[in-house]
Structure 1
Amino acid sequence: MATQTPVKGHDPKVTIALRRFAISISVFNIIGYLFLGFEQPWAWPLIALATGYTTEIVLEIIGARSEEREVRFRGGGVKGFLEFLLPAHITSLALNMLTYVNDRVWVMMFGVVVAVGAKWIFRAPLRGRMRHYMNPSNFGITIILLVFPWASIAPPYHFSEHIPTWGGWLIVAIILISGTVLNAMLTQRMWLIFGWLSFFVVQAVVRGLIFDTAIPGALAMGTGIAFVLYTNYMVTDPGTTPSKPAAQFLFGASIAVAYGFFIAVHVAYGLFLATATVCLIRGLFLWGLHFHTKSRLAWEAEQKRTQIATAPVSAIAARKAEAGEDAAAA
């Protein structure tokens, strides 16, 4: 469920990953409605896509005008336009698939608009340009859950409601294998997955020892289809996660720790809140690093200007001192 917007000159691997993410989630939705038991109305994925596409295009036009640049979906033909819509495609289908808002389609549409729009609001300077740092689909789901307390995430059973037990395990295996290959070869976020999974186990054990939680039950969550989808297709979003191995591991571990905290204090849907919280902390860190670097560079520039300004004065004083010594000697 990665949602980074491809731009000219971007890493081709990310574009390929987005394309495969989009194909995977599209196929999964088709199979889900036909065979698995998805409970949202059949028309809702199409409504979600129309909402996401429209929001992405409108905000891109507004952003291009405000930044005085060319819109990113021009000049690349049909292929370039479709690649531009890949993030909105993934975000829209993911949000509709993972939320349940009864028959109130406008709530789902609201979530899609929030998710796509978050990329234009939650931005921070990174490697010389502004990048969004809030995981879009996760943020849209989180806002729905916070603003509409009666809403919920999609019931986990709807991923395998109409198939036998072995079919559920087969789905888990397919998602696990395909997601692992995708993240290992294209997104290169395996260190993030290691950090998330290892500390997921740690938080389950800690909760079991301190809060008398059943450790096997806490760990059993990791066997569900929704958990495997999250691990391989949401938390690994290349647009809102670090790229260096150590930072990836810390990011994933932080989400697990935050999740453990929310569950320990009995906050529902802790997984989505934990992801949004860690993304927000990372964004604030990037802004803090930006201002620190800017202040340091300004201080160094001021020091250089001071040295240049005082250098002639020091040279004149030195020459006067030498002239005085010569006169005294004479």
Structure 2
Amino acid sequence: MERKGKNCTIRELARYVGLSTCTVSKVLNDHTGALSIPESTRRKVREAARELNYVPNVNAQRFFKRRSSVIGLLVPPQEEMGHNVFHDTHFVDILSGIEKALSTTSYNLLLLFNRPEYKAGNRYEAMFSSGFVDGLLIWGAHRSEGYWQELVELTQPRIFLTSMPDFSPDEPLHYVASDYEQSACGIVSRLKAQGCRRFCWLAGREDTSIISQLAAGMARAGVTLEESAIRYSDYTEAEGERLAAELLEHGEFDALLATAPQLARGAVRYIEAHRLPVQVGSFDGQRGTRLMSDHYISALTNDFEIGLKAMEKMFALIEGDTDMVQMKVPVDFTADEGAKENVQF
């Protein structure tokens, strides 16, 4: 039976080997029922499939494997973020890591926008029960938003990326994130090594899970801040400059900490314009977006690794791994020319 250049159907393949289509499907889809089929028969089916250039039917595979081969990536809509998700370079690098992990598999990625009208009911549960997705990655969660509770309570594979909602320690929350506690401890320790002792903090948005992690890292380095030394805001250079002026007006501080590089850049602009003896450190930078004019020390997150590891862990969960996924990806550090190097943590 010569079929070069032409695909055969499963019915044609079954007729060729003299078996039922059900038996052939079980063999080709590695169905659990195939274990009762003799190895010689399974080998015969696979050899015939190669010989006849059999191409599997995607829908049939999904039926037998109970899989969609689709991973959903849930992100906030543009109106919630103030810009589209691709404006966020952390997200873009995470997406690159996800792409790398997917490149050696048959899985596809589906981008889902968590619009307000979808934040009620059991939408996420329905995605799994209908076979729409095999797993769900969640990026951009805010701590106080109650609708995340549905995602936390799901038993199906789901992993939060970078930020997480508030949850009870008893609840099974899977996540892969930067080690922000290490970031804060490292930056504060470096500034203390330069002689800094009086710290203030441009924290960014208060409703993010990284705030408590950063505070814990500062405490590890021996710094606990009063609320009067902290300012919350959007992550913009204008806010960094404005709030730096507010905090540094009376000369109380010799070190300013910034959660994001935009805040650090705005603060540096104010400090340099007024020639203030204040050092600046950023907890959340990226090597690829750091500028020559960034005169502050910075932690550098590895967002590519977050995306890559999250997908690897997702595949394991889909295959039945029961271990909790709670991974913190280490950060690196860079420093301004005047910063002291080789600080041990």
TM-score range, shorter chain: under 0.3
TM-score (normalizing by structure 2): 0.24
By percentage of residues, which structure has more strand? 2
By percentage of residues, which structure has more helix? 1
Which has the higher relative contact order, 1 or 2, with Cα contacts under 8 A spaced 6 or more apart?
1
TM-score (normalizing by structure 1): 0.24
